[in-house]
Amino acid sequence: MLKTFAVLVVLLSSVTSFFLSEKDICEVEKARWNQCFKGFINKTTELNEIAKEVIESSSTVAPSHYQNHKNNFNSLVQCVGNIHCKGERKMIKFNFDTTGFYVEMNEGTAEQCVKEADQTVQLHNCINPKDFKFSTGNDFNNKVLSCTEEVLENTECSAEDKKNVMRGALAVKDMYDIFSDTLKNKTHVNEFDLKFDRTKYL
């Protein structure tokens, strides 16, 4: 019974997507996106501010803002789901997925050893200093990796933890490079069609 139901659902969704035009799909996606963000209003002031920022402008958010709100962040990402239609939302989703990967690579023992060496703020500043703003320039982007590496030298982190932190930093650096380029031209933002691929970094 359950199996039949599953098959039906799959069939039904392929039928609907067959009849829905690309434009319709994007309208549905946009409505879902807005609904997801609405759900976050008032959960935390900071996240609320960021959500507003994301909705109201073409600027994207920086990883650190979400590190302090991991649970909210994860449920927001889950709510948003897969973004099919190209453009600003896909770009923000790319940012979310890169951020999620960075956070994941910095979790657990890596987080501990950085904290024990009192280097948490320094590490964080490599990708997201206080006055951080998109779009970053090449000067900043090119220092992300060397900065991260230098901070890690001040820790007793294991080779494995260091490797993971560097993987996360590389993903963020690549995103900064892509975004610096994309944000130069509104047409490129509207045509943004990339999906974050974590396997590139593992």
Piece of the chain touching ligand NAG by CB under 6 A; list 7-15, 88-96, 148-156, 184-192: 184-192
Site mask for ligand NAG (CB under 6 A), range 33-52, x = bound: --------xx----------
CB of 71 to ligand NAG, least distance (A): 18
DSSP string across the chain: -HHHHHHHHHHHHHHHHHHS-HHHHHHHHHHHHHHHHHTTTTT-HHHHHHHHHHHHSS----HHHHHTTHHHHHHHHHHH----S-SHHHHHHHHHHHHHHHHHHTSTHHHHHHHHTT-HHHHHHHH--TT--SSPPHHHHTTHHHHHHHHHHTS---HHHHHHHHHHHHHHHHHHHHHHHHTT-HHHHHT------GGGG-
Q: Which is nearer to ligand NAG, 4 or 42 (CB)?
A: 42
CB of 138 to ligand NAG, least distance (A): 18
Q: Which is nearer to ligand NAG, 36 or 145 (CB)?
A: 36
Candidate list 185, 193, 194, 200; residue touching ligand NAG; CB under 6 A: 185
Chain residues that interact with ligand NAG, rule: CB under 6 A:
41-42, 185, 187-188
